């Protein structure tokens, strides 16, 4: 039997659920909520025409180089998937007569696993709930890549000082009063930006108004503890077909941190070890960086 990311996640959830039964209630972690002024995006797959204007704009506003991809040769920017140079990708799902586009990007989870595992807070959740990344803090351990249930953060494998790359909801543009690049570029309003609560209400309104058009669920409302990027799919196309996994409603950090607290209760050693390891890696990277600067 092949072991997929999904089977591992389900196994973790099952194991944690069993073990947590024996954990005193006081150790169980409280469910996190989005901040009061949380913002997010709503992608409506039924409106998307696959033009990829959002991909082009995403590269432009984030100063990311083109990637020719493996399926289209030449100078075209045609990444097959998210990568160290692509934060947003439009994918095509086709099965029989069922066809849909899918916009893959960071989900800005309400309780993000990437933030939970990042030992020195290179990943953080800001006051609007945007999951941010600070390359100056990052030690390159790539725990965030392993922890993310949506397989989003990517690494720049081919450079001396690599960064983790993922969508940060164009926070640099939001700070200037602009819309996220992909939202501004979309000719169909297939992806919109706004207050999370307004987006949820809008998504539900759309389903209620045209039940024959939509799959009857807003993905991200509760999935994995909730996400600030929400999805609507066409009738007859479940979200799993679009690559959005069925991970239940419990956030992964809630399971892992509850277990961690139960296992390490009263022991400081693992935390000290964890911190020390981070500092060593961080110093090494700084030193290496200084040596390379000196070589220039």
Q: Closer to ligand SF4 at the Cβ: 168 or 259? A: 168
For residues 107 and 239, the answer to whether their CB atoms sit within 8 Å is no
Q: Closer to ligand SF4 at the Cβ: 176 or 293? A: 176
Q: Is the dihedral of CA 63, 139, 83, 123 positive or negative?
A: negative
Q: Closer to ligand SF4 at the Cβ: 104 or 259? A: 104
Q: Closer to ligand SF4 at the Cβ: 13 or 23? A: 13
Would you tell me which residues interact with ligand SF4 (CB under 6 A)?
Answer: 48-54, 57-58, 61-62, 87-88, 90, 101, 103, 105-109, 112-114, 131, 148, 150, 152-153, 166-167, 169-170, 180-182, 185-186, 188, 190-191
Token pair belonging to 268:
């400081």
Strand partners, 71: none
Distance CA 89, CA 106 (A): 11
CB of 72 to ligand SF4, least distance (A): 16
Q: Closer to ligand SF4 at the Cβ: 16 or 186? A: 186
* Residue 50 CB neighbours (<10 A): 16
CB of 106 to ligand SF4, least distance (A): 4
CB of 43 to ligand SF4, least distance (A): 7
CB of 214 to ligand SF4, least distance (A): 16
Token pair belonging to 185:
């570029």
Q: Closer to ligand SF4 at the Cβ: 45 or 259? A: 45
Q: Which ranges constitute the DSSP H helices of the chain? A: 5-20, 53-61, 113-117, 143-147, 171-174, 181-185, 196-209, 252-264, 269-295
CB of 259 to ligand SF4, least distance (A): 18
Distance CA 154, CA 134 (A): 14
Distance CA 136, CA 162 (A): 11
Q: Is the dihedral of CA 203, 209, 213, 214 positive or negative?
A: positive
CB of 288 to ligand SF4, least distance (A): 26
CB of 63 to ligand SF4, least distance (A): 11
For residues 192 and 201, the answer to whether their CB atoms sit within 8 Å is no
Q: Closer to ligand SF4 at the Cβ: 42 or 113? A: 113
């Amino acid at each position: 039997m092949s072991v997929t990311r999904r089977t591992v996640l389900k196994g973790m959830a099952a194991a944690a659920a069993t073990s947590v039964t024996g954990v005193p209630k006081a150790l169980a972690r409280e469910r996190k909520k989005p901040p009061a002024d949380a913002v997010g995006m709503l992608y409506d797959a039924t409106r998307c025409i696959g033009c990829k204007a959002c991909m082009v704009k995403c590269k432009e506003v984030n100063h990311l180089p083109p990637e020719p991809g493996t399926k289209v040769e030449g100078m075209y920017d045609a990444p097959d998937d998210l990568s160290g140079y692509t934060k947003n990708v439009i994918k095509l799902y086709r099965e029989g007569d069922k066809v849909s586009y899918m916009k893959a990007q960071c989900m800005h989870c309400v309780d993000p696993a990437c933030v939970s595992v990042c030992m020195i807070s290179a990943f953080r959740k800001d006051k609007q709930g945007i999951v941010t990344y600070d390359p100056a803090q990052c030690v390159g351990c790539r725990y965030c890549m392993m922890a993310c249930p949506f397989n989003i953060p990517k690494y720049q494998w081919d450079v001396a000082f690599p960064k983790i790359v993922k969508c940060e909801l164009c926070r640099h543009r939001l700070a200037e009063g602009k819309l996220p690049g992909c939202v501004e570029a979309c000719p169909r309003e297939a992806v919109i930006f706004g207050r999370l609560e307004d987006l949820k209400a809008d998504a539900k309104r759309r389903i209620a108004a045209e039940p024959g058009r939509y799959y009857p669920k807003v993905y991200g409302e509760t999935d994995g503890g909730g996400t600030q990027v929400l999805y609507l799919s066409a009738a007859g196309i479940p979200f799993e077909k679009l690559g959005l996994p069925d991970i239940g409603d419990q956030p992964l950090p809630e399971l892992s941190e509850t277990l961690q607290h139960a296992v390490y209760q009263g022991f400081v050693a693992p935390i000290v070890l964890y911190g020390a390891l981070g500092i060593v890696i961080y110093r090494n990277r700084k030193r290496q960086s200084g040596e390379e600067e000196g070589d220039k």
